[in-house]
């Protein structure tokens, strides 16, 4: 057993309890959190202005693109998408073992204990199956050509089977339906049936751009030009509401939702869905900013993720939530900071179906510690000060072992 003591213990329990001069006792699981715990175990004090809190969870990444730095075009969603298609194979080819190790190292330094990886090819499995961090590996399906449905699905099943063979306590399987504009409804239903049968979490990109809405609602706009260029006779095959309804009785996270309207947010709430906010990605692709107040008004638990380096310059989750804090100028920073800390811990754990994200008895001992430059007199401001002054952590424990 290990017992750590810090000036501030941020529990992220239902009461958002912050314990001054608090302790955490753990082995693989958290045994107790509080003060003066179990005198038979000596406590290690982590130093002046030290903080202990749950490790961070990066719910949505595309590590296959981690070799990208200056290849892709930012500032416009469709220009970016076309540049992704142009450079995709080269970027995938250039990201081998050291590329994945570097990406994982960057997340680890910023206190990430677990991440959701969207895998479109399966080629990343050999690099991620022995990751020191926890992985929820989302096998992604993409394809809207009815003539190719059977072939796409058989390849998808083979990738699922391969990833299932390496499952362990740190590697879990999930499924991803790319988006409502890029996956045939027949494929959607088949994937959702598998998710229900095996209780796998699902992720899907939804309403990231204005172009997506114009295409799905009217069959017009920039996506019409895009599909005419790449696929003949393409047409929208499902409405946004019909798409959301497909995910009833699943654990589904809708990524981005920047242009989701109130009816769609209400439907996501009704099916108990989650929303992932990727603020830096949204800014670089110039698609707008998720209305976090609307998300909260519909009682949708949101989480924050970096997305991949195809649309970000960093996988540091503290940088991501700091960016969110500074972008959402209509929200009070003190209260937004509390929500953003929840978004990368307890909310993220629920979205990925993990037993961590808070410091409570029985949860996995996934813990980080670090020091602030000074003490914090008003504990209500601790989450804000953490976001402003933290980019890397001193210690990271996963399942009770220091990484």
Q: Which residues of 112-146 are buried (b: 16+ CB within 10 A; e: fewer)?
A: bbbbbbbbbebebbebbbebebbbbbbbbbebbee
Residue matched to tokens 């970000």: 312
Q: How many CB atoms lie within 10 A of CB 261?
A: 14
402 among known catalytic residues: no
Q: How many CB atoms lie within 10 A of CB 18?
A: 18
Task: Please state, in angstroms and as integers, the Cα–Cα distance from residue 127 to each residue in 163, 168, 181, following that order.
Answer: 12, 15, 30
The answer to whether the beta carbons of residues 403 and 397 sit under 8 Å apart is: yes
Active-site choice (23, 208, 320, 360): 208
Which pair of structure tokens corresponds to residue 328?
Answer: 């959402």
Which pair of structure tokens corresponds to residue 152?
Answer: 């796409």
Task: Please state, in angstroms and as integers, the Cα–Cα distance from residue 388 to each residue in 9, 281, 324, 395, following that order.
Answer: 17, 20, 11, 19
The answer to whether the beta carbons of residues 136 and 354 sit under 8 Å apart is: yes
Convert 175-213 into a string of H (helix), E (strand) and C (coil).
EEECCCCCECHHHHHHHHHHHHHHCCCEEEEECCCHHHH
Which pair of structure tokens corresponds to residue 28?
Answer: 């693989």
**Alpha carbons 112 and 396: distance in angstroms, whole number:** 8
Task: Look at strands 202-206 and 171-177 and give their pairing.
Answer: parallel
Residue matched to tokens 């990524």: 255
Cβ-in-10-Å burial (0-12, 13-18, 19+) of 341 comes to: buried
The answer to whether the beta carbons of residues 63 and 128 sit under 8 Å apart is: yes
The answer to whether the beta carbons of residues 5 and 38 sit under 8 Å apart is: no
DSSP 8-state class, residue 143: B
The SS3 assignment for 16 reads: coil
Active site residues: 208
């Amino acid at each position: 057993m290990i017992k750590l003591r810090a000036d501030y213990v941020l529990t992220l329990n239902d009461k958002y309890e912050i314990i001054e001069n608090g302790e955490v006792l753990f082995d693989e699981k958290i045994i107790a959190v509080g003060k003066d715990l179990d005198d038979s175990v000596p406590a290690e004090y982590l130093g002046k202005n030290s903080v202990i809190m749950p490790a961070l969870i990066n719910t949505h990444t595309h590590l296959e693109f981690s070799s990208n730095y200056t290849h892709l075009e930012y500032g416009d969603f469709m220009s970016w998408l076309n540049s992704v298609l142009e450079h995709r194979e080269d970027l995938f080819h250039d990201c081998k073992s050291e590329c994945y190790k570097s990406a994982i190292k960057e997340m680890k330094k910023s206190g990430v204990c677990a991440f959701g990886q969207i895998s479109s090819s399966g080629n990343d499995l050999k690099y991620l199956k022995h990751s020191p961090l926890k992985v929820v590996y989302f096998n992604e399906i993409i394809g809207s050509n009815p003539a190719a449905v059977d072939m796409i699905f058989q390849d998808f099943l083979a990738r699922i089977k391969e990833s299932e063979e390496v499952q362990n306590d740190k590697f879990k399987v999930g499924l991803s339906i790319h988006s409502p504009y890029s996956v045939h409804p027949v494929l959607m239903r088949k994937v959702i049936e598998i998710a229900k049968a095996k209780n796998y979490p699902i992720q899907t990109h939804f309403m990231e751009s204005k172009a997506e809405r114009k295409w799905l609602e009217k069959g017009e706009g920039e996506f019409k030009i895009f599909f005419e260029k790449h696929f003949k006779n393409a047409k929208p095959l499902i409405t946004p509401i019909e798409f959301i309804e497909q995910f009833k009785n699943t654990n589904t996270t809708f990524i981005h939702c920047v242009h989701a309207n109130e009816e769609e947010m209400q439907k996501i709430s009704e099916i108990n869905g989650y929303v992932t906010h990727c603020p830096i990605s949204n800014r670089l692709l110039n698609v707008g900013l998720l209305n976090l107040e609307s998300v909260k008004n519909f009682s949708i638990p949101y989480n924050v993720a970096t997305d991949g380096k195809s649309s970000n310059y960093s996988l540091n989750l503290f940088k991501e939530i700091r960016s969110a804090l500074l972008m959402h100028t209509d929200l009070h920073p003190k209260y937004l900071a509390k929500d953003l800390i929840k978004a990368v811990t307890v909310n993220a754990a629920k979205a990925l179906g993990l037993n961590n994200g808070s410091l409570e008895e029985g949860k996995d001992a996934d813990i980080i510690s670090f020091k602030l430059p000074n003490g914090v007199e008003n504990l209500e401001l601790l989450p804000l000060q953490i976001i402003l002054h933290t980019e890397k952590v001193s210690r990271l424990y996963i399942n009770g072992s220091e990484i």
